[in-house]
Amino acid sequence: MTESRTTGVRLLIVGPPGAGKGTQAAVIASAFGIPAISTGDIFRKNIAEGTELGKKVDEIVSSGGYVPDSLTNEIVADRLQQDDAAQGFLLDGYPRTTEQVTELDRILAASGHQLDAVVQLTADRDEVVARLLKRAAEQGRSDDTEDVIRHRQEVYQEQTEPVIAAYADRGLVVSVDGLGSIDEVSERVLGALQERGLAVAV
């Protein structure tokens, strides 16, 4: 039964800064044979390629503004229509608001799909702060003070709480402890997804 799911696994990953979300996104995408789609990467790629969407984003970002939901939705919808995402994907960085949750539902429903699971990496805040402070010291990032790092953690929690709650109501959230070695966390994530009947690609 799980075999058919390997060809159409649609996932979302969320986690606080410093929880290793990008690393785990790459592991999950590779395990399921699906593209990891980061909105930040999409913005950068469109800007670099000088697409119409990229020009719009570049203009907004250059003037210090925030990319509006409408444009983010447009870019994500465009990316999900590309061939490599037809058989599944892992979204990272979208949706960030409940309005974007509704829009993603609409985008997926248009092609008869829906999300299979939302991977939530959890991490003790003090441990994550300690990890990020160590990284800042190693990389000479003097701007990354404890106050700045803690503020980012709070912003993440405020922004993503409603999104996680929306998916939790649907029973889609798979919470996994994001602390430990990369392999340990990967094992937890893939094991939790397998328990939901989402088998990895062979």
Per-residue pLDDT reduced to its tens digit, 85-141:
998 999 998 998 899 999 999 999 998 999 999 999 999 999 999 999 999 999 988
| pLDDT confidence of residue 4 | 38
Query: Residue 60 falls within a domain, yes or no?
Result: no
| pLDDT confidence of residue 69 | 86
Query: Residue 79 falls within a domain, yes or no?
Result: no
Tally of CB atoms within 10 A around 65: 9
The total number of structural domains in the chain stands at 1
| pLDDT confidence of residue 11 | 97
55 catalytic residue (yes or no): no
Query: Residue 59 falls within a domain, yes or no?
Result: no
Query: Residue 51 falls within a domain, yes or no?
Result: no
> Which residue from 44, 14, 1, 5 is spatially nearest to 198, judged by alpha carbons?
5
Query: Residue 183 falls within a domain, yes or no?
Result: yes
- The CATH number linked to 19 is 3.40.50.300
Q: Where do we find the tokens 């106050």?
A: 147
Rg of the chain's alpha carbons, rounded to an integer? 17
Residues 6 or more apart whose Cβ sits within 8 Å of residue 6: 32, 33, 199, 200, 201, 202
From the list 55, 106, 135, 170, the catalytic residue is 135
196 catalytic residue (yes or no): no
pTM for this prediction: 0.86
Which tokens belong to 55?
């020009």
Query: Residue 190 falls within a domain, yes or no?
Result: yes
Which tokens belong to 193?
């997804």
Query: Residue 66 falls within a domain, yes or no?
Result: no
Is omega for the bond preceding 95 within 30 degrees of 0, making it cis?
yes
- Residue span of the structural domain in which 185 resides: 2-38+87-195
Query: Residue 77 falls within a domain, yes or no?
Result: no
From the list 55, 106, 134, 141, the catalytic residue is 141
Specify the range with the lowest mean pLDDT, choosing from 3-12, 45-54, 133-142.
Answer: 3-12
> Which residue from 47, 102, 46 is spatially nearest to 69, judged by alpha carbons?
102
